[in-house]
């Protein structure tokens, strides 16, 4: 009656607020199931892939290029590694590393391939690999310590 929230809801709100203020690691960096859930959303809704970027994956790049109305060769140039949603600041990389240290090995086929090549996707909220992409790709990334300083308070530009 007094409008009190369930403890779990309070904790979730607190975590979100800390994430917003940059005080806490994003939940998906330390929680395998949330990371997998969010990665699956990126796969289902935005064709995140390809599973193994070291292969030619022509079918995959044709699909992506159709969405972007360019050629597969052009599409291949737009990857998580240069997406404006791809965060590779020291803080995020520390969060990813501490999640892995805690046993977040997430050893499925996707994860084995992406080892050592990770950042955090702030659109889909999961750990993504720099050589992959998705149809939500945005020009202007990645977000690093340097770019964060330069564009504090700014959107991650299209210039």
- Here the tokens at position 61 are 């790049």
User: Please, what is the minimum distance in Å from the beta carbon of residue 15 to ligand SF4?
Assistant: 21
- In whole angstroms, give the CA distance from residue 52 to residue 114: 8
DSSP state of 118: E
User: Please, what is the minimum distance in Å from the beta carbon of residue 69 to ligand SF4?
Assistant: 17
- Binding-site residue total for ligand SF4 (CB under 6 A)? 15
Residue whose CB is less far from ligand SF4, 101 or 108: 108
Residue whose CB is less far from ligand SF4, 25 or 156: 156
| Contact letters for ligand SF4, residues 122-141 (x by CB under 6 A) | -xx---x----xx-xx----
Report the b/e string of 68-95 with b at 16+ CB within 10 A: eeeebeebbebbbbbbbbbbbbeebbeb
- In whole angstroms, give the CA distance from residue 140 to residue 147: 10
User: Please, what is the minimum distance in Å from the beta carbon of residue 142 to ligand SF4?
Assistant: 8
For residue 17, the cross-strand partners are none
Taking CB under 6 A as the criterion, which residues in 41-100 touch ligand SF4?
Answer: 42, 46, 48, 80, 83, 85-86
Q: Please enumerate in sequence order all residues whose Cβ is within 8 A of that of 72, keeping only pairs 6 or more positions apart, or say none.
A: 58, 61, 62, 64, 65
Q: Is 24 in the site for ligand SF4 (CB under 6 A)?
A: no
Largest CA distance in the chain: 60
Residue ranges that bind ligand SF4, judged by CB under 6 A:
42, 46, 48, 80, 83, 85-86, 121, 123-124, 128, 133-134, 136-137
């Amino acid at each position: 009656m007094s409008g009190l929230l369930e403890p779990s809801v309070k904790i979730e709100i607190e975590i979100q607020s800390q994430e917003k203020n940059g005080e806490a690691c994003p939940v998906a960096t330390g929680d395998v199931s949330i990371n997998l859930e969010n990665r699956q959303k990126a796969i289902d809704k935005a064709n995140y892939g390809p599973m193994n970027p070291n292969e030619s994956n022509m079918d995959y790049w044709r699909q992506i290029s159709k969405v972007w109305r360019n050629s597969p060769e052009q599409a291949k140039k737009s990857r998580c590694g240069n997406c404006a949603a791809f965060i590779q600041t020291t803080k995020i990389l520390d969060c990813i590393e501490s999640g892995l240290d805690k046993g977040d090995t997430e050893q499925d086929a996707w994860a084995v391939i992406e080892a050592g090549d990770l950042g955090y996707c702030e659109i889909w909220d999961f750990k993504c690999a720099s050589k992959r992409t998705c149809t939500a790709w945005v020009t202007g990334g990645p977000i690093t310590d340097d770019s964060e300083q330069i564009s504090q308070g700014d959107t991650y530009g299209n210039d």
